[in-house]
C-alpha cells in the first residue's frame, strides 16, 4: 500500500495510457492505415515525419498547397510532428525489423500515432491531477475532475478517435504550462525560466494563435511583478537560456517559411483564402448553434464555468486570467471564417483549453461535496448520464455533422439512438 501511495500518479498515468491506447486500437483495428493517410489535418501534421526521417527532406510534399513559385507549402507547422517523433521512430524501427513496409504509412506507424496521443493525454491529465490534489488535499476531487474532462468532453474523441489532430497535444502543452507555473515559479526560478522558454517555443510551433495561453504566466499583483523583476536580475543567464530555447523553435519555423516562400513571416492559411472576420464574430453560434455549438455538444463544461465564476466572486486572480484566456479564444474562434471548425465532433478548437478549465471545474467539485446528500447524488447522476451520452455520440459520430443538411432534428435523431 505504501508503494501505491508513493507512485500513485505514475499508476494513474499508466492506467489512463493503457485505457486510451486499448480503446483507440479497438476503434481502429480495421482502419489503421487510413488514420494517417486520409487527407485531412491529421495527415498535415504527420507528414513532416516520413518526409524528414524517410525521404530526408524538411519540406513535406504530401498534403500541401502549391505556391505561385511552384514550391509546396505545408499550412501546418512542425510542432505536432516534433512531439510525435519519438513514437514515430519506434514505429519505424519495428517496421524495419518486421515484414511491414518502412515508408511511414503502414500499421506500425499508425500504432505509434495512437501511442503518442495516449501518452500525451495521460501525461497532461496526470499533471492536472497532481496540481488539483496538491491544491485541495483530496485525490478524489482531482480524479473526478479529470474523469469529467476526459470522458465527458470531446477530448475523448480527439484522444481515441481522431488522435492525429492537434488538440490532445495542445491540451498536454497547456497542462505542462500550468504545472510549470504553479510548481517551479517559487521553487526554482532558473528551472522555471528554461521550462517556460521550452513550452513557449512548443506553443508557437504547434498552434501559434494559442500564444495567448501564455497570459497565465502574468503576475497579478505589484509584489509579484517586483519579485519577478528581481528574479530576472538575479538569473540573467537563465533568462538568456530561456529566450534562446524559444528563438530556436521560432527560427526553425521561419527557416522553413523562407525556404519555400522567400518570406520570413507567413500566414500559411492565408494562401488558402482563409482568414478572420474580426468585425463580425459568430459569438452566439460558437456556443449554441447546432453546427458544433460548444455548450450544445459539451454541456458538462458549464460546471467549469460555474466554478470559474464562483472563484471570481472570491477574487481569485488565477480565475481571472483563465477567464481572459477563454474569452480571447472565444473571440478568435468566433471570428474565424469557419467558426464551427467543420467536420468536428463538437467545437474542437476549445479542447486544448480544457487544461485551464479543469482548475475551476475542480473548485466546483470541491464545493459540491459540501452540499447535502440529495444535491451530491443529483450532480453525480447528471455527470454520469452526460458522460455516457458523450461516449456514445463519439462512437456513432460519422463526420461531418455540419453543413446545410445538419439541423436540430438530425442531432435529436442521433441522441435518440443512444437513449
Residue whose C-alpha is closest to residue 291's, from 332, 340, 247: 340
Tens digits of residue pLDDT in 359-403? 999 999 999 887 878 888 899 999 999 999 999 999 999 888 888
Per the CB < 8 A criterion, the answer to whether 328 and 283 are in contact is no
Tens digits of residue pLDDT in 294-305? 999 999 999 999
Q: What is the predicted pLDDT for the residue at 1?
A: 59
Helices 373-396 and 408-416 cross at an angle (nearest 10°) of 100
pTM of the model: 0.95
Residue with cell 455516457: 388
Cα–Cα distance measured from residue 62 to residue 36, given in angstroms and rounded to the nearest whole number:
12
Q: What is the predicted pLDDT for the residue at 270?
A: 67
Q: Which three cell numbers stand for residue 248?
A: 530556436
Cα–Cα distance measured from residue 206 to residue 353, given in angstroms and rounded to the nearest whole number:
14
Q: What is the predicted pLDDT for the residue at 128?
A: 98
Q: What is the predicted pLDDT for the residue at 91?
A: 96
Q: Please count the residues of the chain.
A: 419
End-to-end CA distance of the chain: give it in Å, rounded.
41
Per the CB < 8 A criterion, the answer to whether 299 and 315 are in contact is no
Q: How many C-beta atoms surround the C-beta of residue 96 within 10 A?
A: 10
Cα–Cα distance measured from residue 18 to residue 94, given in angstroms and rounded to the nearest whole number:
20
Q: Where are the alpha helices (DSSP H) in 188-314?
A: 189-206, 222-234, 236-261, 283-288, 294-297, 301-313
Do β-strands 65-66 and 72-73 pair in parallel, antiparallel, or remain unpaired?
antiparallel
Q: What is the predicted pLDDT for the residue at 40?
A: 78
Give me the residues of the chain with pLDDT under 50, please.
none
Reduced to 3 states, what is the DSSP secondary structure of residue 67?
A: coil
Q: What is the predicted pLDDT for the residue at 4?
A: 67
Q: Which three cell numbers stand for residue 39?
A: 487527407
Residue whose C-alpha is closest to residue 63's, from 71, 54, 72: 72
How buried is residue 243: exposed, middle or buried, by Cβ count under 10 Å (0-12/13-18/19+)? middle
Amino acid at each position: 500500500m505504501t508503494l501505491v501511495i508513493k507512485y500513485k500518479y505514475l499508476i494513474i498515468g499508466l492506467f489512463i495510457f493503457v485505457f486510451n491506447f486499448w480503446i483507440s486500437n479497438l476503434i481502429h483495428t480495421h482502419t489503421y492505415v487510413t488514420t494517417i493517410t486520409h487527407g485531412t489535418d491529421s495527415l498535415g501534421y504527420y507528414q513532416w515525419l516520413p518526409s524528414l526521417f524517410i525521404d530526408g527532406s524538411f519540406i513535406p510534399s504530401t498534403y500541401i498547397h502549391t505556391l505561385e513559385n511552384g514550391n509546396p507549402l505545408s499550412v501546418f507547422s512542425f510542432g505536432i510532428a516534433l512531439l510525435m517523433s519519438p513514437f514515430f521512430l519506434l514505429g519505424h524501427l519495428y517496421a524495419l525489423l518486421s515484414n511491414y513496409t518502412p515508408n511511414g504509412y503502414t500499421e506500425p506507424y499508425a500504432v505509434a500515432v495512437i501511442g503518442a496521443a495516449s501518452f500525451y493525454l495521460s501525461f497532461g491529465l496526470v499533471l492536472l491531477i497532481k496540481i488539483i490534489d496538491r491544491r485541495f488535499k483530496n485525490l478524489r476531487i482531482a480524479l473526478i475532475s479529470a474523469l469529467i474532462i476526459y470522458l465527458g468532453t470531446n477530448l475523448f474523441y480527439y484522444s481515441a478517435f481522431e488522435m492525429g489532430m492537434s488538440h490532445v497535444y495542445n491540451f498536454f502543452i497547456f497542462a505542462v504550462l500550468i504545472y510549470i507555473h504553479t510548481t517551479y515559479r517559487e521553487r526554482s526560478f532558473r528551472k522555471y525560466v528554461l521550462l517556460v522558454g521550452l513550452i513557449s517555443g512548443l506553443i508557437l510551433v504547434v498552434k501559434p494563435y494559442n500564444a495567448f495561453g501564455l497570459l497565465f504566466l502574468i503576475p497579478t499583483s505589484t509584489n509579484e511583478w517586483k519579485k519577478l523583476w528581481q528574479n530576472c536580475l538575479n538569473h540573467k543567464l537563465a533568462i538568456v537560456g530561456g529566450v534562446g530555447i524559444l528563438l530556436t523553435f521560432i527560427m526553425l519555423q521561419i527557416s522553413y517559411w523562407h525556404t519555400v516562400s522567400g518570406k520570413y513571416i507567413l500566414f500559411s492559411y492565408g494562401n488558402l483564402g482563409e482568414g478572420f472576420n474580426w468585425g463580425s464574430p459568430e459569438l452566439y453560434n460558437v456556443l449554441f448553434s447546432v453546427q458544433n455549438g460548444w455548450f450544445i455538444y459539451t454541456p458538462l463544461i458549464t460546471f467549469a464555468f460555474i466554478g470559474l465564476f464562483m472563484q471570481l466572486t472570491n477574487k481569485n486572480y488565477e480565475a481571472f486570467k483563465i477567464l481572459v484566456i477563454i474569452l480571447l479564444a472565444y473571440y478568435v474562434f468566433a471570428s474565424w471564417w469557419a467558426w464551427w471548425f467543420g467536420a468536428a465532433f463538437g467545437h474542437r478548437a476549445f479542447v486544448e483549453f480544457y487544461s485551464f478549465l479543469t482548475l475551476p471545474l475542480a473548485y466546483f467539485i470541491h464545493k459540491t461535496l459540501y452540499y447535502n446528500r440529495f444535491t451530491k447524488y443529483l450532480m453525480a447522476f447528471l455527470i454520469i448520464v452526460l458522460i455516457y451520452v458523450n461516449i456514445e455520440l463519439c462512437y456513432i459520430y460519422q463526420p461531418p455533422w455540419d453543413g446545410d443538411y445538419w439541423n436540430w432534428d438530425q442531432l435529436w435523431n442521433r441522441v435518440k439512438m443512444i437513449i
